[in-house]
Amino acid sequence: MSVIRVYVPCDSIARGVGADDVASAIIATAKARGDNVEVIRNSSRGMFWLEPLVEVATDAGRVGYGPVSVEEVASLFNAGFLTGTDHALSIGLVEEHRYLKTQERLLFARAGVTDPLSLTDYEANGGYAGLRHAVKIGADKTLDEVQTSGLRGRGGAAFPAGIKWGTVKGAKADQKYVVCNADEGDSGTFADRMLMEGDPFLLIEGMTIAGLTTGATQGYIYVRSEYPQAIAHLEAAIKTAEAAGYLGNNVMGGGHAFWLQVRKGAGAYICGEETSLLESIEGNRGLVRAKPPLPALQGLFGKPTLVNNVLTLASIPDILAKGGEYYHNFGMGRSRGTMAFQLAGNIRFGGLVEKAFGLTLRELLEGYGGGTASGKPIRAVQVGGPLGAWVPEAHLDTELDYEAMAAKQAMLGHGGCVVVDDSVNLAKLAQFAMHFCAEESCGKCTPCRIGSTRGVEVIQKIRDKQDQAKNVALLEDLCETMLHGSLCAMGGMTPFPVMSALRHFPEDFGLASKEVQS
């Protein structure tokens, strides 16, 4: 009897809703029935409302069933799911599912397909083709490919990756570093975690290419402690890559050294800011550094350091394997390639959608997300994390690229989208943004440290209808000061959710629209 392969995700979200128990129940039931089954713990497809999503390999492709509970395992066997037969939980061929079929997955091409810790799986699905090509063509041509791709940093600032890489490469020093910012702390975001848990070799490969290109011989991945599975998978994958010659003193026999370590952060939001992160790696308190000097010239331990986030570095292998021009063909304007959008909050189909820049917010939230989980109309969406602007329903036809969002006084950030319906008061959320900043500020600069605390107080006065015109003017002035006077994006961007809520939803503050000046 041939072995039937059954896939059960090992992603932490799937495990959080019972995937481990479902896997055990499938193994036990198969054994009791005499079925020859191999259960493989794959990564997640990113369709979280279907987790645990169980897939069965058939001649036609993988057939999916979800969400599966332990109680439903017996009925799946009784229905003959090992041959892909119909069942109430069946979603048919997974690759044909409407949520996946129209996505353009470059970063997450292996999501749900492979065993995250199997190097054989990774190589069989295109892994390490990028590094192999980079070793062959050398640092100068590798940098050319990155610049041709038009890749911009996916951490929020959207700075051109090729310029940053070129700055570090051109710096003269006896030691350089590559640092991956994996301190994913934005509400509603999970793409970094999903990639590190589900495809850790991709990040390792991207960082190795970065090291060989810039002349760095040591890399660090800074991961928050709330991601224990990501840390475990990265550490295991690093050991495997070292043993296979993809890391070490002579990477792939090319004569270049690159070593990699994981550094665990304590979970401070401010350590997602690159200079605070560097302080933390050095063993210091996570305080923002004034710029200049830029980390690219004087970063970790005072040496030239390339700091990119997970999705930026993980984009590199595909760029090298298929060429910068190939990557550049995705997207629009100055926003090239694909973006991993993360749908969260009050959304019917929460999960990950990777698409080229250029689709609209409405296509993303209604087409893929299916609207709100509550069934009510979407009232607003916060794009780009807790410091992103609130975008009203009237602006949902805005195209998702960096410049189009900026024209609406919003941003893309890390691609997180938190949806709310009309049951949510935006004045409360504006006040929460100031409170969040006050809690998470490193305290180094006055506009952020003091401004956020005063912001909480002023918004409360507006909500309590105390001298509203005067306090609205004071809030606007305070936000201007934070925007232009803060040392980093923490204080500089907190005004985004506050002012967007005030501008688009004045009624939640107890105001008429004419009372809001900007």
Q: How far apart are CA 116 and CA 65, in angstroms?
A: 21
Whole-number pLDDT of residue 516: 58
Whole-number pLDDT of residue 518: 47
pLDDT tens digits for 303-354?
999 999 999 999 999 999 999 999 999 999 999 999 999 999 999 999 999 9
What's this model's pTM, rounded to 2 decimal places? Answer: 0.96
Q: What is the mean pLDDT of residues 149-164?
A: 93
In this predicted structure, the answer to whether residue 181 has a pLDDT above a threshold of 50 is yes
Q: What is the mean pLDDT of residues 218-224?
A: 97
Grade residue 267 by pLDDT with cuts at 50, 70 and 90.
Answer: confident
Whole-number pLDDT of residue 515: 57
Grade residue 512 by pLDDT with cuts at 50, 70 and 90.
Answer: confident
Q: Is 392 helix (H, G, I), strand (E, B) or coil?
A: strand
**Computed from CA positions of residues 405, 418, 361, 156, in that sequence, does the dihedral angle turn out positive or negative?**
positive
* pLDDT above 90 coverage of the chain, percent: 96
| Burial (Cβ within 10 Å: 0-12, 13-18, ≥19) of residue 86 | exposed
Q: How far apart are the first and last CA of the chain?
A: 71
Instruction: Report how far apart, in Å, the C-alpha atoms of 61 and of each of 9, 92, 448, 484 are.
Output: 17, 10, 54, 55
Q: How far apart are CA 306 and CA 221, in angstroms?
A: 12
- Of 37-41, 156-160, 452-456, the poorest mean pLDDT is in 156-160
pLDDT tens digits for 81-103?
999 999 999 999 999 999 999 99
Q: Is 183 helix (H, G, I), strand (E, B) or coil?
A: coil
Q: What is the mean pLDDT of residues 494-515?
A: 90
CA 40 to chain centre: 25
Q: Give the phi and the psi of residue 90 in degrees, each rounded to 5.
A: -70, 135
Whole-number pLDDT of residue 2: 86
Residue 281: count other Cβ atoms within 10 Å of its Cβ: 21
Grade residue 1 by pLDDT with cuts at 50, 70 and 90.
Answer: low
pLDDT tens digits for 385-442?
899 999 999 999 999 999 999 999 999 999 999 999 999 999 999 999 999 999 999 9
pLDDT tens digits for 453-472?
999 999 999 999 999 999 99
Q: How far apart are CA 88 and CA 349, in angstroms?
A: 18
Question: What mean pLDDT value characterizes the chain?
Answer: 96
Whole-number pLDDT of residue 157: 82
Q: What is the mean pLDDT of residues 506-518?
A: 76
Whole-number pLDDT of residue 514: 52
